[in-house]
Amino acid sequence: MHLRDNLTLSEKLDMVSDKLSRADSLVSETEGSRVIVLIVAPKEEATAVRELKMRFEGRINLLNFGAKLVETAKSYGMENLEDDFSFLGKSSIGDFSKLLLNGLIESIVESSKANPITAVHRLGILNGFFGLNPLIEGVTGNLANPALFIYPGKRKDHILTFLDGRHTTSVYRALVI
């Protein structure tokens, strides 16, 4: 589905509401992932989260990726992470990234079983660890209910950019709004 790139936040949230009201159609629209990626300007992310909480009160569970990152780092051990990085450099981030990705996937899948809607925010932080596609692929076929990923950045066709294009990703198995 090709959407205009210049929709307002309110228009995008209306589209999200419409898609979530017909959640059964998401399976075919997303090739089985049941994921909607909501692109917002970084300065609008908090507003989008607040608005979603009001629109879907009692039906939405918000997962903060920043909190998941801190939780994973603490369980990995901050000293271990620092030692790994100082000894192995960037290659050590690969192991931590896999642990972080797997933990986030597990949290999203579990939340999906218990809640009509799961929304993940603060996803700008994921740049440098992994992209959206591994996250989408990890939840594909495992979600009981739709997941909404709030991504702070810009979209042009299927390419998403973060921080003025320093990090880009393509998204294929999700509905991008």
**What are the tokens at 73?**
């780092």
pLDDT > 70: percent of the chain: 82
- 133 class by beta-carbon count within 10 Å (0-12 exposed, 13-18 middle, 19+ buried): middle
What are the contacts of 164-168 at 24+ separation with CB within 8 A?
166/127, 167/127, 167/128
Q: What is the pTM of this model?
A: 0.86
Comparing C-alpha atoms, which of 98, 99, 94 is closest to residue 74?
99
pLDDT band at residue 126 using 50, 70 and 90 as cut-offs: confident
Amino acid identity for residue 84 in this structure: D
pLDDT of residue 112: 97
